[in-house]
Structure 1
Amino acid sequence: MIFDVDQNDRPLLHIIGYTFNSSYNSLEMVHLLQTSVEASSDELDRVIVHELAMSVIYNIPVFLNHDELEESLSKYYNQLYEHGFQLINENYEVKKYKLLDTLVPDFVDQKGELTGEKIPRIYSFSEVKYYKNILMEKLKKLDNAQYVINNLKDGLNELSEGLNSFSRNENRLQEVLTNYPILFGTEYIEVLDKHSFGSEYEADYVLKRYNGLYDVVEIEASTLNVYTKQGNPTSALVHAEQQIMDWLEWIEHNNSYARDKIQELYSPKGYVVIGRSNALTLETKEKLRRRNLVFRYKIEVITYDDLLENAKSLLNLLTGNKSEDD
């Protein structure tokens, strides 16, 4: 078949086939007929889609009459594979069928009443282009997924090395958090470093989510304690929490001004990153858990080790691996 349009830009298909020329005792390829439907544009589209479906099922190649028609034919193949086509069954009922998304399509209806054998066939250029677009989309998703995994691995390695170094460098640890917002979760894609709230406050970090919303972060040194030996919150922790509360209050009362700088800064969550988990006892770990519950996750206090362990769990989840402790 050859895809073409008439003088009114209405789509049609030329049916080309072999005939036997008795005068020369030879086979000849000739134009047998063409589809010609006096109908609405929608009905004509259905006819073209139906004929393309038959060409797929019965292994009939479809070619363009000229290259300028490529986009039009691609549109019909998209419609065929995305939305299916109609057939009349043995009970004279119009039913909708859909080709399976494979390079050698089978076809079934919603109840699986109709099946076809997979046979090698010839693909039109537009059909190959359709499959190419699908394949590129799938590869793009795989590339994005692998990028997330690699980025998470790199962040984990650098944070782990920084925390376990004998000459621990706090500036280097903060740099790691700046470069790898994914350590806070896969929903974070960017860090805005040292963002000012008016002339009064400056946040260490503002984290941008995939959905365009933002959260704020106060970074304290990994060498600081979260609780005292007596089990009370340290002044460093209280100060950091107060910083977050001041920022959140300022954003709430100056929302329009705040969103001049960051458009989607609506009711952000606040993180405090401080200290190491090995400096906490079972009692103070429980106190920290309850403290986070009191703030109802409007403010969350996490240690550097919490970031590390959460990121490890996330990596294991994404890669399907079990942690070494399992």
Structure 2
Amino acid sequence: MGRLDDNWKEGKRFLPILSGEDEGFKKLFDEKTNRINRDNYEGHGFAWEIMNNCQEIVLGYEEKVGYCLNLVLRSIDMKTFEIIVEAALQMQCGEDINKVRDIIGIAMIKDVPVFGDTIELHENLKDIQSSIIKEGFTSFFDGEEKRVKITRFNDFDLNNSKEILKNLSCSHLITPGEIRIVNEKISSDFRQYANAAKFIDSLHLVIKEFSELLKSKTRNENQLQEYITRNPILFGTEYKSIKPKHCLGSEYEMDYALQRFDGIFDLVELESSSLGLYTKDGNPRAELTHAEQQILDWQEWLEEKNFYAREYLKDIRSPKGFVVLGRSESLNDDLKKKLARRNLTFGNKLQVLTYDDLLNKVETFLEIIKKSN
């Protein structure tokens, strides 16, 4: 069925509005109208009936009456028999915004355009219509108040801008509320895409700058470590900051603490990038074992001082430890396997990384993002 058959094949009966002073004619007309109303509008409220004859509604606000809905109607001038289109009826709602919403909901079902009398009221109207689309409204049927949901909005996935646009129907009036929902969602998507693009650009920059620092023949260890503290993404996406000189009670002071987005801290020991991890004989260097022991001592202290930690160090709970030392290029295949076994031995308590491993973390993450898009 098309719009012509759906809407106009059998015609529509409108509740007429009369203008002029011919009381006899008006009485005769009213009797016929009442008979039509009883036959065709049984169980429906006045708002449903009058909406069929409504050209548009203007949402206004008056100091003495509050919110008011001004209905522009077609009326018959009883003297000239001209059809007049005018703001013939005002429905006063006071400060009851729910009443306003319920009447506008009927207008949306009847495809009656609604406008705000001022820019501010038009913005209010968008909010009202948006809430009707999302939540519905209430109306009376056979004397009983019921919740009404406009059927054409049942398939609206408000989290999917493509689906919202797809479900906007050319066979119905598109309301300011629908436009607002589309605008808000598309704007939100655009901000997300813009933020994602900005994030990807930042990953490219970190990779470029950190690579240059590592390649520099005259690299400065302090500069390298300062760069790491400014870019916690090198340790993973779950970290938002790196805090130097973080105290564990009065007994220990960590070189660095990694703070996750949930506020919890992990432990970090940054050693020199110019040091090797193993001796020529394949034994772990003293700097490596010292850094590992430092992390293990901190973790043991936290377990022993469990009560103190829960009371005063609430953001440090079973922290994971990282030791960052040396370059991957100093490791042959056998030493790489030995380091992998060493990390497996520590399990989730401790992980030994080279400075190149930090760089690889970011490069791998960037590749995953690119493939997912």
Instruction: Please indicate the TM-score interval, normalised by the length of the shorter structure.
Output: 0.7 to 0.9
| Counterpart contact for 1:106–1:118, Cα < 8 Å | no
SS at match of 1:308: helix
| Counterpart contact for 2:65–2:92, Cα < 8 Å | no
How much does 1:276 deviate? 0.9
Map of 2:231 onto structure 1? 180
Picking from 42, 54, 58, the partner of 2:109 is 54
Confirm or deny that 1:301 pairs with 2:301: no
How much does 1:16 deviate? 2.5
How much does 1:3 deviate? 3.8
| Counterpart contact for 1:103–1:131, Cα < 8 Å | no
Picking from 284, 290, 303, the partner of 1:239 is 290
CA distance in 1 between counterparts of 2:64 and 2:264 reads 50
How much does 1:137 deviate? 2.9
- CA deviations 1:184-229 (Å, max 9, x no partner) are 1111111112212233322222111122222111101111111222
Distance 1:205 1:147, change over 3 A: farther
Distance 1:311 1:46, change over 3 A: same
Counterparts of residues 247-266 of structure 1 (less than 5 Å): 247-255=298-306, 257-258=308-309, 263-266=314-317
Counterparts of residues 148-227 of structure 1 (less than 5 Å): 148-227=199-278
Distance 1:81 1:229, change over 3 A: farther
Distance 1:276 1:63, change over 3 A: same
CA distance in 2 between counterparts of 1:207 and 1:176 reads 14
- Report the AA paired with residue 170 of structure 2: K
- Report the AA paired with residue 316 of structure 2: L
| Counterpart contact for 1:225–1:279, Cα < 8 Å | yes
Distance 1:158 1:194, change over 3 A: farther
| Counterpart contact for 1:3–1:65, Cα < 8 Å | yes
Q: State the TM-score, normalizing by the size of structure 2.
A: 0.66
- Report the AA paired with residue 58 of structure 2: I
* Count of residue correspondences: 301
SS at match of 2:302: helix
Confirm or deny that 1:30 pairs with 2:82: no
| Counterpart contact for 1:226–1:234, Cα < 8 Å | yes
- How well do the aligned residues superpose, as a CA RMSD in angstroms? 4.0
Q: State the TM-score, normalizing by the size of structure 1.
A: 0.74
SS at match of 2:317: coil
- CA deviations 1:75-129 (Å, max 9, x no partner) are 4333334346799xxxxxx885244656996786xxxxxxx743696653x6555
| Counterpart contact for 2:115–2:122, Cα < 8 Å | no
| Counterpart contact for 1:190–1:208, Cα < 8 Å | yes
- Report the AA paired with residue 348 of structure 2: Y
- Max radius of gyration: which structure? 2
- CA deviations 1:213-269 (Å, max 9, x no partner) are 221111011111112222222211111111111112223333565567754222111
Confirm or deny that 1:2 pairs with 2:53: no
How much does 1:65 deviate? 4.8
Map of 1:273 onto structure 2? 324
- List gaps (5 residues or longer) in structure 1: 88-93, 109-115
User: What is the aligned-residue identity percentage?
Assistant: 36
Map of 1:310 onto structure 2? 361
How much does 1:17 deviate? 3.9
Distance 1:20 1:193, change over 3 A: farther
Which stretch of structure 1 is more off in the superposition, 98-107 or 144-153?
98-107
Distance 1:41 1:159, change over 3 A: closer
- List gaps (5 residues or longer) in structure 2: 1-56, 140-147
| Counterpart contact for 1:98–1:107, Cα < 8 Å | no
CA distance in 1 between counterparts of 2:291 and 2:124 reads 61
SS at match of 1:229: coil
Map of 1:118 onto structure 2? 170
CA distance in 1 between counterparts of 2:309 and 2:137 reads 53
SS at match of 2:347: coil
| Counterpart contact for 1:255–1:266, Cα < 8 Å | no
